[in-house]
């Protein structure tokens, strides 16, 4: 069965980082959709399409040329009414603007002819500017993605099956985690490394580790460097214990 989830939910579904979502979209393994289920073009193409639409609207607002027929002019002889001259003057004033807009529209349409698929992200690169890159990622997180649909286009092709969307359990707070791990017999040095581990749930600083594990005993509150040093040593020992598989106290 086909389901649609947001890009943010897809991160959890696949267990990936936000930048990896962009890579999946670029490889066209997942295609972003808007709230109506329509494909979302990459930002550069979207900008051109929007610009083209706005230019066309502006051109449409300019009154179209009105011509006075020769038969009508003959009716007035050599003294046509002033409104006739007004029509010509208005057309002459609008002519440069109309021509300029028409040139821009034609130029954009010519550019778009070189785009084989306006919805393809294959040739789009993430902006180097971090703010612009983050904006692109945030738009993908808000987009909808189709998951769970089995795709079989021919013999021997992979069958893509639905994966349940799993929500990661919320980790325990630091104090509860320390209490739990100590009850399990985990050595404080190994515990210090777990709390510091940049791939883990907590990623605590050395100072926070020292205070949480009581490594600041016998130290004054101002001896911050000494606290950090104790935590650093504990993490170093804990890392070695983890590699040896000896994280439990004896």
At 81 the pLDDT is: 53
What is the number of alpha carbons within 13 Å of residue 20 lying toward its C-beta? 9
At 159 the pLDDT is: 35
Is the pLDDT score of 104 beyond 90? yes
Given pLDDT bands bounded at 50, 70 and 90, which one contains residue 73? low
pLDDT per position as a tens digit, 149-165: 433 333 333 434 444 55
Cα gap 24→2, rounded to integer Å: 19
pLDDT per position as a tens digit, 77-97: 555 555 555 555 666 777 888
Torsion-angle region of 215 (φ positive above 0: left; ψ -120 to 50: alpha; else: beta):
alpha
- pTM of this prediction? 0.47
Neighbours of 185 (CB within 10 A): 10
Q: At what angle do helices 7-14 and 130-142 cross, to 10 degrees?
A: 90
Contacts of 232 by beta carbon, 8 Å cutoff, 6+ apart: 206
Cα gap 72→164, rounded to integer Å: 75
Q: How far is CA 140 from CA 2, 56, 148, in A?
A: 19, 28, 19
At 162 the pLDDT is: 47
Q: Which class for 67: exposed (0-12), middle (13-18), buried (19 or more C-beta within 10 A)?
A: exposed
pLDDT per position as a tens digit, 188-208: 998 899 999 888 888 899 999
Contacts of 31 by beta carbon, 8 Å cutoff, 6+ apart: 25, 39, 119, 145, 146
At 249 the pLDDT is: 55
Is the pLDDT score of 145 beyond 90? yes
At 69 the pLDDT is: 55
């Amino acid at each position: 069965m086909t389901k649609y989830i947001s890009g943010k939910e897809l991160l959890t579904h696949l267990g990936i980082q936000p930048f990896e979502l962009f890579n999946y979209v670029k490889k066209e393994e997942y295609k972003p959709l808007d709230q109506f289920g329509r494909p979302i073009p990459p930002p550069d193409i979207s900008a051109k399409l929007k610009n083209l639409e706005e230019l066309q609207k502006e051109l449409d607002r300019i009154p179209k040329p009105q011509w006075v027929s020769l038969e009508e002019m003959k009716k007035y002889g050599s003294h046509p009414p002033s409104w006739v001259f007004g029509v010509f003057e208005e057309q002459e004033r609008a002519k440069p603007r109309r021509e300029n807009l028409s040139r821009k529209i034609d130029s954009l349409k010519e550019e778009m002819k070189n785009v084989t698929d306006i919805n393809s992200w294959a040739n789009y690169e993430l902006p180097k500017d971090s703010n612009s890159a983050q904006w692109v990622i945030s738009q993908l997180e808000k987009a909808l993605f189709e998951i769970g649909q089995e795709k079989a286009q021919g013999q021997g092709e992979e069958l893509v099956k639905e994966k349940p969307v799993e929500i990661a359990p919320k980790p325990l707070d630091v104090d509860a985690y320390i209490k739990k791990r100590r009850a399990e017999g985990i050595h404080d040095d190994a515990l210090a490394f777990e709390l510091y581990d940049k791939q883990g749930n907590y990623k605590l600083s050395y100072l926070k580790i020292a205070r949480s594990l009581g490594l600041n005993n016998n130290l004054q509150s101002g001896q911050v460097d000494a606290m950090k040093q104790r935590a650093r040593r504990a993490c170093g020992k804990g890392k070695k214990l983890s590699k040896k598989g000896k994280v439990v106290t004896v």
